[in-house]
Chains A and B, each alone.
Chain A
Amino acid sequence: MHIATKMKTRTMHGITEVLVLVNHPMDTGLVRSKVTHKIIPAHFIETLTVAVNHKPAVITDMSIAISKDPLIAVKLTHAKKGDLVTVDWIDNKGMTGHAQTHVS
């Protein structure tokens, strides 16, 4: 299974906003399937890191209470035009995702 990770940045007045969208099921492990009547096992992003030029800027520990297909935004203060912004995440099943872009 491939999980798409998308990101984009926009800079205004020296502050760079980073938007991250991950198409992740974020299953809580508390819900019973309406079809099989079995508990759907938990599957959620545990940690998501936004880094500038490979240096972590924001590290987010997430729980099952983050909505499906998480869309998050953070703001960076020191990012300059052309800097490499990367996002990496890992979930409780060991799957990872990555996206990168340059500050425009």
Chain B
Amino acid sequence: MNLPRRTFLKQAFSGSALAVAAGAGLLRPATALAHTWPVWPQAVFHEKKIPVLLHELFGHRPIVQGGLHLHAPLEAENGAVVPMVLESHVPHPEKLVLTVDNNPFPLVTIVHLTPEALGFFNVRIKMGKTSMVHAYVATKDKVHTMARKVKVTIGGCGG
């Protein structure tokens, strides 16, 4: 699929003085990496139907219960900051995925892992309202999952 180019690239290659100035500031860390940034998968992040989302992320790999642990609070007082810890127990994890069913866009994050990294990810997320939170770890031929229900007292969407 032909995804739109990144805003970053548009700015970097447009001739406007502003973009050049912004570009100059970026040069130090970004030059070496600019061409290697993977394209942000906009389509999956905008997908609202969970079965379609899972198919786009994992293809036909079977989804089985267990194999990882999702540490999440039972009740979150503030939906703007809900701590999540994903811990995979399966060998050779390729990616970790976190989804929240009742958020406007269910997909929260995709973590691509290399053999240098453990199947571990700690992050704080926003939740609009009480919802099931699903964690997935994908290996070459299988997807492991675990779900937790998190009750949210105050929504995370600025309310």
Interface residue ranges, A against B (CB under 8 Å): 15, 28, 30-32, 46-47, 49-50, 52, 54-68, 70-79, 88, 90, 92-98
Which residue of the partner chain B has the closest CB to A57?
B116
B112 to chain A: which residues have CB within 8 Å? 58-61
Size class of the contact patch on chain B = 35 or more
Smallest Cβ distance from B103 to chain A, in angstroms?
Answer: 6
Which residue of the partner chain A has the closest CB to B85?
A73
Interface pair A65/B100, CB less than 8 Å apart: yes
Can you name 12 A-B pairs with beta carbons within 8 Å? A59-B38, A63-B105, A65-B105, A66-B109, A66-B125, A67-B81, A75-B118, A77-B115, A77-B117, A78-B115, A90-B8, A98-B28
Interface pair B104/A74, CB less than 8 Å apart: no
Question: Is B126 at the interface (CB under 8 A from chain A)?
Answer: yes
Interface pair B30/A96, CB less than 8 Å apart: yes
Interface pair A77/B121, CB less than 8 Å apart: no
Q: A78-B116, A88-B33, A94-B12 are in contact. Are A61 and B41 (CB under 8 A)?
A: yes
B125 to chain A: which residues have CB within 8 Å? 65-67
Question: Is B7 at the interface (CB under 8 A from chain A)?
Answer: yes
Interface pair B8/A94, CB less than 8 Å apart: yes
CB contact between A94 and one of B6, B28, B32, B104 (< 8 Å): that residue = B6
Contact digits for B54-83, partner A, Cβ 8 Å, 1 yes 0 no: 000000000000000000000000001110
Q: A60-B111, A94-B7, A94-B22 are in contact. Are A66 and B29 (CB under 8 A)?
A: no
Smallest Cβ distance from B132 to chain A, in angstroms?
Answer: 14
Q: B residues 1-56 with Cβ under 8 Å of A?
A: 6-8, 10-12, 22, 26, 28-30, 32-33, 37-38, 40-41, 45
B113 to chain A: which residues have CB within 8 Å? 57-58
Smallest Cβ distance from A96 to chain B, in angstroms?
Answer: 5
B30 to chain A: which residues have CB within 8 Å? 88, 90, 96, 98
Smallest Cβ distance from A79 to chain B, in angstroms?
Answer: 8
Which residue of the partner chain B has the closest CB to A34?
B158
Interface pair B45/A61, CB less than 8 Å apart: yes
Q: How far is the CA of A74 from the CA of B127 in the complex (A)?
A: 22
Q: A31-B157, A52-B116, A74-B121 are in contact. Are A66 and B126 (CB under 8 A)?
A: yes
Which residue of the partner chain B has the closest CB to A31?
B158
Known: A31-B157, A66-B109, A90-B37. 9 other contacts (CB 8 A): A60-B111, A61-B110, A61-B112, A65-B103, A67-B156, A71-B124, A73-B123, A92-B40, A95-B26
